[in-house]
Structure 1
Amino acid sequence: MDPVRRRHLRRTGGWAGAVTAALALAVTAVGPAAAADVNNASNSGFESGLSGWTCSAGSGTTVTSPVHGGSAALKATPSGQDNARCTQTVAVVPNSTYTLGAWVQGGYAYLGVTGTGTTDVSTWTPDSSSWKQLSTTFTTGASTTSVTVYTHGWYGQPAYYADDISVQGPDGGGGGDPEITVPGVPAGLSTSGATSSSVSLTWNAASGATGYTVYRDGTKVSAVTGTSATVTGLTPSTSYSFQVAAANSAGESAKSAAVTARTAASGDSGGSDLPAHAVTGYWQNFNNGATVQKISDVPAAYDIIAVAFADATTTPGAVTFNLDSAGLNGYTVDQFKADVAAKRAAGKKVIISVGGEKGTVSVADATSATNFANSVYSLMQTYGFDGVDIDLENGLNPTYMTQALRALSAKAGPDMILTMAPQTIDMQSTSGSYFQTALNVKDILTVVNMQYYNSGSMLGCDGKVYSQGSVDFLTALACIQLEGGLAPSQVGLGVPASTQGAGSGYVAPSVVNNALDCLTRLTNCGSFKPSKAYPELRGAMTWSTNWDATAGNAWSSAVGPHVDALP
């Protein structure tokens, strides 16, 4: 729950000409290689480190995450006047056509070839948070027996990653990587969970596969790089047949044996017994000067209690929970568990929050995603938590956090509560990683309670700048989420419970209530008025129940009944 650090805008001037020139290059799609073709590049997947490759100014290294195929990939970082150029000399056959390809991720990435004896070519892509395939073709001259293949980034841009580089064509005799063959059929396909609109699948890895294609009733519905997927957009109470095929640059395997899964009945997901309008409060598992509470002390006005926070472990992605008994006046684990059970018996939801100002949990690969899901589910079983809150203020990876949350949902079932508490900057655009994650898991998402504080001025959905601490700030920024793809029932207003609860952005409970009225009824608005009412708006959140108690529970006493009375 810390202040937002401003991000600098990207420079766009110095390299405009290079971008324009790169766009003019002809790019062809990669197709299956001819039977006699081989990959003439050596160590194309960087499984042997940088063997066979030379990177300028020591800019290159190999990493184990992210990777596109195998267990390693190239990471090259531009610095100063160096664009992180990595090269390999590849033996080729004269008067022959080759397909040059690579998978890239991260900052601006370029792929090209020189010394062809005809026309040297290159292609590029802007920065990307997921793997993209680059491809182009070239023809060798009458006396050309070798070419130089290269990748590079761009000045001042972040590091780029490259993997599975190929120079596919006639064998130049240079001892390149073996010819790629179509992978085998994936085995072990099974369903790992279902909601009213989605089915989650898992399967065993197939040797040589760089990705997998998922089929629903014989029709391709998604392509993934891991061994799990969740098919969304399904009809409640309906049976579907699923298959999966393995793929790489040589083609796609036959489809696996089919499995059948049936979606749940309508309304069976996302905490079906949660009130239509809900109040969320964070409960502090530490003493920072606010009133020390037991879970049993939290007022009944709170429908969702987020226990702050889970702790990171030495295992990547995994979390644990350590009750601060000493800081909470001797509150024992047994008392805590009993209080959680009592709240749940009273119809309340108690969830574990992951992150916070000092949170260091990182879910950046498939392994850490699995660790996250397994560890959070273990905490749910141990303490009786109804779900999880994602409050990662130091960034998240939408690909792997999505994978982690879907795996957790498959374990916990359709009644799992899933909330998020992004900072304002994280929800300014649907291209942001937090917004992407929320949309990725929309079918299992309960509510996003964005933090409308510690942020300074921000843009509203009308493109105007609004200052925090006003009804316009709350309504115009909520509008971005409402128009960006979240359901109204998945949007809540996150505010401090008192002036001590945040560095800036506190508003009186009456302002929160006015914002709720504006969004749900189009009444009590400020200068900004939404284009329509959103009566299904979920409600409001506060940091924290402890700071609320310090102020005599003034926030929950005013906002709680108002939320309950929303249309």
Structure 2
Amino acid sequence: MQHRSKHRGHRGHRARASLAGPLALALGAGVALAVGGAGTAQAVEDRNVARNAGFESGLTGWTCTANSGTTVTSPVRSGAAALKAVPAGLDNARCSQTVAVLPNSTYELSAWVQGAYAYLGATGTGTTDVSTWTPGSGTWQQLTTSFTTGPDTKQVTVYTHGWYGQAAYHVDDVSVFGPDGGGDGDPDPQVPAAPAGLAPGTVTSSSVALTWDAVAGATGYHVYRDGARVQTVSGTSATVTGLAADTAYGFQVSAVNAAGESAKSGTVTVRTRTGGTTPNPTVPKHAVTGYWQNFDNGATVQKLRDVQDQYDIIAVSFADSTATPGQIVFNLDPAVGYASVADFTADIAAKKAAGKSVVLSVGGEKGNVTINSDASATAFADSAYALMQEYGFSGVDIDLEHGINSTYLTKALRQLSAKAGPGMVLTMAPQTIDMQHTGTEYFKLALAVKDILTVVNTQYYNSGSMLGCDGKVYSQGSVDFLTALACIQLQGGLDPSQVGLGVPASPRGAGSGYVSPTIVKNALDCLTRGTGCGTFKPPTTWPSLRGAMTWSTNWDATAGNAWSNAVGPHVHNLP
């Protein structure tokens, strides 16, 4: 499948003794000397020489190519605004500013970025121009580099840009920290005001989601529970976990920056629920699965509340791995448009209340989680269960496309099932090659967890021709391809209720293998009723076949919901 704080430097005062006679301008670690009266040398203070470094004044001081930049109120790292820039066509969304500098001086250049590919650099330094970049992140991360100006350099252009064909990137808290070049840079920060608007969001038996208003000049926020600091975050929301059921807690928030910490906000008292998260609904006998994109790749951007009603299982794509083998986290992409994590978890709860299962997908085309030891199996189970508790996910989807170890992944899933209980939804989305025979690692995994497995939705696309259960070769994109390959699983030991047909929602949803909804409906009829078949005739029918899956609900929406409007009712009316 396709994958996918307003920081200003500390002011430094470095005095140097007066020098008589000829004066050599000196630079060391960001210190410069300027000539004063009567041949004396005066220290030049270090500061952030960038103007409007936190974009609190819109794009004042900044120039963005092709009108690619704008300021937004979410996501922001601190304060009330940040830059959002969107590459388009041959434009990489370059936003730049020319700053005043001193010759022969060193400057530390940094910025906080989020979203897709983001670059940070400086040109016109008079020495070696510099740049650094990141392929993107769902959370704020800091890019840093440094440059030294030439002997005659008094201005340098600093810039940030994205990359061609990629999604939007966000920038906040730019800093060009070094000797004051005489420009109108941002002032040093003052201790921020106390946050206002602290309010609870989703409350479970073990967690409370909190949101509050942004504070100008803040680079982060401390979250307090009953007077003890429990979290530090860069945004204006947090979820406090590890709480006892049916217990009242008092929460406060303070704002921080380089100048210090504000007073705490007023206390908000919240009582946790007596039970767990919203109970998992029962998956229908015949179900439609759709992958929901937690990123923007050109398909229609949706919130979970916008996912079409025909989908019974919604796979949130994707979890992210950490430096700890087996451990997963989930980072809500700001490109999706949620104001807070609490809004997202509320959407999950609403979908579950409507009878839908919302699972967290692990893997994807670009994602990978390594589970090849007892420790990594436990790390997976513990982190996955924590995410189920925190967000209300009904279970997990295994979409690992870079090889798996069935022995340890089986251990991981069984540990997770023991924690989550019998209501856990477990789905898989192997590639066609992964389910060609019962000796593959994926097939062995599916059989090993058959008693807790909900459905395997094999991806019948991006594969080329493959063998069917009759030993013949079939080309993708046909009724025969879907039915003859599904037959392998049906004859290989999976229950028919654990088999689904995975197809793209539109030609843009996959590199190859798109089939029209009519072909999908014919394949479903062939496997369950014995009608609508192509040249391949199954030896029997499997009326309890689970249904179909698509990548993705977003591509389906882009195509006017043609896939779900056609396939959804057909699946729900299977025998």
The interval holding the TM-score normalised by the smaller chain is 0.5 to 0.7
Correspondent of 1:384 among 378, 392, 395: 392
How big is each residue's C-alpha offset from its partner over 1:128-181, in whole Å with a ceiling of 9 and x where there is no partner? xxxxxxxxxxxxxxxxxxxxxxxxxxxxxxxxxxxxxxxxxxxxxxxxxxxxxx
Structure 1 counterpart of 2:318, which letter?
Answer: F
Shift of 1:271: 7.1
Correspondent of 1:471 among 463, 479, 489: 479
Contact 2:427 2:455 in 1 (8 A): yes
1:313 correspondence with 2:322: yes
Partner of 1:441: 449
Structure 2 counterpart of 1:305, which letter?
Answer: I
Contact 2:319 2:360 in 1 (8 A): yes
Matched ranges for 1:94-105 at <5 A = none
Structure 2 counterpart of 1:430, which letter?
Answer: T
Partner of 2:40: none
1:293 correspondence with 2:299: no
Partner of 2:459: 451
Distance in 2 separating the partners of 1:271 and 1:476: 33
Give SS of 1:370's match: helix
Partner of 2:368: 360
Shift of 1:308: 0.1
Shift of 1:335: 1.1
Distance in 2 separating the partners of 1:409 and 1:2: 27
Shift of 1:275: 0.6
- TM-score (norm: length of structure 2): 0.52
Distance in 2 separating the partners of 1:449 and 1:408: 20
Matched ranges for 1:47-446 at <5 A = 273-325=282-334, 327-446=335-454
Partner of 1:524: 532
Contact 1:2 1:393 in 2 (8 A): no
Give SS of 1:426's match: helix
Structure 2 counterpart of 1:463, which letter?
Answer: G
Partner of 1:508: 516
Quickly say closer, same or farther: Cα 1:455–1:476, change in 2 above 3 A.
same
Shift of 1:536: 0.3
Contact 1:278 1:564 in 2 (8 A): yes
Contact 1:522 1:532 in 2 (8 A): yes
Shift of 1:330: 4.3
Distance in 2 separating the partners of 1:529 and 1:293: 39
Quickly say closer, same or farther: Cα 1:515–1:315, change in 2 above 3 A.
same
Structure 2 counterpart of 1:324, which letter?
Answer: D
Between stretches 417-426 and 327-336, larger displacement belongs to: 327-336
Shift of 1:332: 2.5
Shift of 1:329: 2.9
Contact 2:281 2:355 in 1 (8 A): no
Give SS of 1:507's match: coil
Quickly say closer, same or farther: Cα 1:548–1:317, change in 2 above 3 A.
same
Structure 1 counterpart of 2:379, which letter?
Answer: N
Structure 2 counterpart of 1:540, which letter?
Answer: A
Partner of 2:44: none
Partner of 2:134: none
Shift of 1:331: 4.3
Quickly say closer, same or farther: Cα 1:436–1:272, change in 2 above 3 A.
farther
Shift of 1:2: 6.0
Distance in 2 separating the partners of 1:435 and 1:426: 7
Quickly say closer, same or farther: Cα 1:498–1:331, change in 2 above 3 A.
farther
Distance in 1 separating the partners of 2:413 and 2:302: 29
Give the gaps of 5 or more residues in structure 1.
4-269
Contact 1:402 1:437 in 2 (8 A): yes
Partner of 1:560: 568
Contact 2:466 2:475 in 1 (8 A): yes
Contact 1:373 1:408 in 2 (8 A): yes
Distance in 1 separating the partners of 2:517 and 2:496: 21
Quickly say closer, same or farther: Cα 1:394–1:2, change in 2 above 3 A.
farther
Distance in 1 separating the partners of 2:511 and 2:452: 32
Contact 1:271 1:414 in 2 (8 A): no
Partner of 2:118: none
Partner of 1:166: none
Give SS of 1:411's match: helix
Contact 1:353 1:390 in 2 (8 A): yes
Distance in 2 separating the partners of 1:330 and 1:473: 39
Contact 1:409 1:416 in 2 (8 A): yes
Distance in 2 separating the partners of 1:524 and 1:428: 24
Aligned length: 300
Structure 2 counterpart of 1:510, which letter?
Answer: T
Give SS of 1:340's match: helix
How big is each residue's C-alpha offset from its partner over 1:198-248, in whole Å with a ceiling of 9 and x where there is no partner? xxxxxxxxxxxxxxxxxxxxxxxxxxxxxxxxxxxxxxxxxxxxxxxxxxx
Contact 2:319 2:363 in 1 (8 A): yes
Select the structure of larger CA radius of gyration: 2
Distance in 2 separating the partners of 1:444 and 1:280: 18
Structure 2 counterpart of 1:541, which letter?
Answer: M
Distance in 2 separating the partners of 1:558 and 1:332: 34
Shift of 1:328: 1.4
Shift of 1:360: 2.0
Structure 2 counterpart of 1:461, which letter?
Answer: C
How big is each residue's C-alpha offset from its partner over 1:248-267, in whole Å with a ceiling of 9 and x where there is no partner? xxxxxxxxxxxxxxxxxxxx
Contact 2:281 2:357 in 1 (8 A): no
Distance in 1 separating the partners of 2:500 and 2:570: 14
Partner of 2:263: none
Give SS of 2:319's match: strand
Large movers: runs of 4+ above 4 Å: none
Distance in 1 separating the partners of 2:541 and 2:339: 44
Shift of 1:449: 0.1
Distance in 2 separating the partners of 1:513 and 1:331: 39
Structure 2 counterpart of 1:538, which letter?
Answer: R
Partner of 2:126: none
Distance in 1 separating the partners of 2:338 and 2:501: 33
Give the gaps of 5 or more residues in structure 2.
4-278
Partner of 2:494: 486
Quickly say closer, same or farther: Cα 1:272–1:436, change in 2 above 3 A.
farther
1:538 correspondence with 2:546: yes
Distance in 1 separating the partners of 2:434 and 2:561: 29
Partner of 2:88: none
Distance in 2 separating the partners of 1:433 and 1:364: 12
Distance in 1 separating the partners of 2:319 and 2:363: 7
Give SS of 1:512's match: helix
How big is each residue's C-alpha offset from its partner over 1:96-139, in whole Å with a ceiling of 9 and x where there is no partner? xxxxxxxxxxxxxxxxxxxxxxxxxxxxxxxxxxxxxxxxxxxx
Q: CA RMSD in A?
A: 1.4
